[in-house]
């Protein structure tokens, strides 16, 4: 039988469609992410947080747990300068992977571009005793000037464990501070015996809320902040006035949903032996510790807690999930499928998302794409342990990881980016893709010539 040009054309077009489909086939049916490495691997020491500089020159500020903050250009091409050095003040052992102390958070004032003020949260040792210190520092000449430091809070730590913590400004302009419960003295005995989170007269195990734009005198002492008059426990003799919420074990990495109609503050709270939890902080709320861990009551029948707020999500401790790291509600443009979801992680596991699109919270694991599905510049390796998540001003996310090897710890700062539309083979792969496209064009031309 003689084939007509139309049949031959149909055959060729079918081949072309098959080839195109092969190139457009997704690398995985499960959403996955790729990782770029803006800063050379190993050049950071114990990275703990990234903030995008709101100065007119832009760029990024990256804090290390050892007490240093470095400034980078917006293109990440070089480390411009040492922005702040608190290393001689901060208590931290960088040879101990389990050390929870150090510089743990910092925040730029909402008016930083004008007043040059920023705030730090760190562990410091005075006369052999550890304290959580929240301080205000002013930038001068492109660097934080230590001589301008004002101590806002110094909270005595019972042990080196459960130091917290986060400082972050809310939409109301106030500074919110998450403080761990500090554990038990000497870190001995039953951890559930640490009851300071339920003690309203202790600042440990709390979310605090202060106004750093005002000063006030309390008991004859000038404080470099005032307590907002609408804090929930004003006038309550059983609570310190700085307390905004309580019953927290070790809320590490809290963040506001940038597009929430209210002041939705999300915090990840690490558990003891049973459950990790994600909470949305409510004014005056009690988050259960040390009476409860997640949804587990330690003394059944004795967990009818005043002001209790249940976690929005919990998961059990396991061999692969040991300590939650709080994250961010995603509002970037790189991942439309994640918009409005809360992305977080676990120190010994990967990344996760919480999706409430259907009205019922669904947790999904975020996988890392096969290298062949990632752009050539986005094939960095995720480390062994997750240290923190961070967010830039565009709403895109970064993760910081550390791997402890025989030669010591090696840390990475990684940006989460989308996979390629088509599979990519780097170097020689560029030639292969060009040849394939050339072949497709030749085949299409041949088909049209036959048809005509």
Q: What was the pLDDT predicted at 13?
A: 41
pLDDT given for residue 59 in this prediction: 92
Residue-level pLDDT at 431: 36
In a domain, 359, yes or no: yes
Note whether 40 and 74 are same-domain residues.
yes
The span from the CA of 242 to the CA of 279, in Å, is: 20
pLDDT at 16 over 80: no
- What is the mean pLDDT of the segment spanning 378-391? 94
DSSP string, 366-386: EEEPPGGGS-TT-BPPP-SEE
Asked if 282 and 309 touch (Cβ cutoff 8 Å), the reply is yes
- Which has the closest alpha carbon to 365: 386, 344, 379? 344
Do 435 and 288 sit in the same domain of this protein?
A: no
pLDDT at 12: 44
Q: Does residue 353 share a domain with residue 213?
A: yes
Model confidence over 179-202: pLDDT tens digits? Answer: 999 998 765 567 777 899 999 999
Lowest mean pLDDT among 120-134, 222-236, 431-445: 431-445
> Same structural domain for residues 198 and 321?
yes
Q: Are residues 445 and 303 in the same domain?
A: no
How confident is the model at residue 20, as a pLDDT?
Answer: 38
Higher pLDDT: 133 or 445? It is 133
pLDDT on residue 6: 39
Q: Is 7 within a domain?
A: no
Residue 245 in any domain: the answer is yes
Which CATH number characterizes residue 166's domain? 2.120.10.30
- Alpha carbons 377 and 400: distance in angstroms, whole number: 18
CA atoms within 13 A on the CB side of 350: 17
Strand partners, 121: 105, 134
Q: What is the 3-state secondary structure (H, E, C) of 382-431?
A: CCCEEEEEEECCCCCEEEEEEEEECCEEEEEEEEEECCCCCCCCCCHHHH
**Percent of all residues in the chain with a pLDDT value above 70, rounded to a whole number:** 85
How high is the pLDDT of residue 47? Answer: 92
DSSP string over 239-290 = S-TTEEEE--S-EEEEEE-TT-SS--EEEEE--SSSEEEEEEE-TT-B--TT
238 contact partners, CB below 8 Å, separation of at least 6? 200, 201
In the chain, what percentage of residues exceed pLDDT 90? 64
Same domain (yes/no): 410, 434: no
Looking at the domain assignment, is residue 8 inside a domain?
A: no
Residue whose structure tokens are 């006369």: 127
Q: What is the pLDDT of residue 434?
A: 36
**373 and 452 fall within a common domain:** no
Does residue 191 form part of some domain? yes
pLDDT beyond 50 at 452? no
Q: Could you give phi then psi for residue 318, rounded to 5 degrees?
A: -155, -175
Peptide bond into 178 cis (omega under 30): no
Mean pLDDT (the chain) is 85
Over residues 58-69, the mean pLDDT reads 95
Q: Are strands 117-126 and 408-417 parallel, antiparallel or unpaired?
A: unpaired
Q: How many domains does the chain have?
A: 2
Better pLDDT: 322 or 366:
366
pLDDT at 188: 58
The model's confidence at residue 408, banded by pLDDT at 50, 70 and 90, is confident
Instruction: Express each pLDDT in 301-317 by its tens digit.
Output: 888 999 999 999 999 98
**Per-residue model confidence (pLDDT) at position 56:** 85
- Domain that includes residue 262, residue range: 35-421
Residue 219 pLDDT: 86
Residue 22 domain-assigned?
A: no
Q: Is the pLDDT of residue 104 over 90?
A: yes
* Stretch 223-229: mean pLDDT: 96
pLDDT band of residue 401 (cuts 50, 70, 90) is: very high
Preceding omega of 170 cis (within 30 degrees of 0) = no
Q: Cβ atoms within 10 A of the Cβ of 430, count? A: 12
Tell whether 199 is covered by a domain.
yes
The tens digit of pLDDT for each residue in 17-29 reads 334 333 443 333 3
pLDDT tens sequence across 414-433: 999 999 988 778 875 443 43
At 393, the pLDDT band (50, 70, 90 cuts) reads very high
Please state which of the ranges 21-35, 281-295, 390-404 shows the lowest mean pLDDT: 21-35
Shared-domain flag, residues 276 and 214? yes
Whether residue 308 is found in the same domain as residue 436:
no
Phi, psi for residue 232 in degrees, rounded to 5: -70, -20
- Chain centroid offset of residue 378 CA: 20
Are residues 442 and 333 both part of a single domain?
A: no
User: Are both 446 and 354 inside the same structural domain?
Assistant: no
């Amino acid at each position: 039988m003689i084939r007509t040009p139309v049949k031959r054309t149909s055959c060729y077009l079918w081949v072309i469609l098959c080839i195109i489909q092969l190139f457009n086939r997704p690398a995985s049916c499960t959403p996955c992410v790729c990782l770029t490495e803006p800063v050379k691997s190993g050049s950071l020491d114990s990275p703990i947080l990234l903030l995008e500089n709101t100065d007119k020159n832009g760029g990024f500020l990256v804090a290390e747990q050892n007490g240093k903050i470095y400034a980078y250009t917006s293109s990440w091409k070089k480390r411009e300068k040492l922005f702040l050095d608190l290393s001689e003040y901060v208590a931290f052992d960088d040879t101990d992977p389990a050390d929870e102390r150090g510089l743990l958070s910092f925040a730029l004032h909402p008016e930083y571009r004008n007043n040059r003020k920023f705030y730090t949260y760190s562990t410091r040792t005075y006369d052999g005793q550890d304290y959580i210190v929240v301080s205000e520092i002013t930038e001068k000449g492109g660097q934080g000037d230590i001589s301008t430091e004002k101590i806002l809070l110094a909270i005595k730590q019972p042990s080196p464990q459960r130091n917290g913590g986060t400082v972050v400004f809310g939409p109301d302009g106030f500074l919110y501070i998450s403080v761990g419960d500090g554990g038990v003295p000497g870190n001995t005995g039953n951890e559930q015996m640490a009851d300071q989170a339920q003690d309203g007269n202790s600042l440990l195990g709390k979310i605090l809320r202060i106004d750093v734009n005002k000063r006030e005198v309390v008991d004859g002492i000038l404080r470099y902040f005032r307590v907002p008059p609408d804090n929930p426990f004003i006038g309550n003799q059983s609570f310190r006035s700085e307390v905004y919420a309580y019953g927290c074990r070790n809320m590490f990495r809290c963040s506001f949903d940038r597009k929430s109609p209210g002041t939705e503050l999300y915090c990840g709270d690490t558990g003891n032996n049973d459950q990790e939890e994600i909470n949305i902080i409510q004014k005056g709320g009690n988050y259960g510790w040390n009476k409860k861990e997640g949804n587990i009551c330690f003394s059944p029948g004795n967990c009818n807690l005043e002001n209790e707020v249940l976690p929005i999500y919990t998961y059990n401790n396991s061999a692969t999930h040991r300590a939650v790291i709080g994250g961010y509600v995603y509002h970037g443009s790189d991942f439309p499928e994640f918009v409005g979801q809360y992305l977080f992680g676990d120190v010994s596991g990967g990344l996760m998302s919480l999706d409430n699109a259907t009205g019922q919270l669904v947790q999904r694991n975020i996988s890392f794409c096969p290298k062949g599905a990632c752009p050539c510049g986005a094939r960095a390796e995720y480390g062994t342990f997750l240290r923190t998540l961070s967010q830039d001003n565009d709403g895109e996310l970064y993760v910081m990881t550390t791997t402890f090897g025989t030669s010591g710890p090696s840390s990475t700062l990684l940006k989460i980016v989308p996979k390629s539309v088509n599979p990519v083979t780097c170097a020689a792969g560029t030639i292969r893709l060009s040849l394939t496209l050339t072949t497709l064009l030749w085949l299409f031309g041949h088909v049209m010539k036959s048809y005509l």
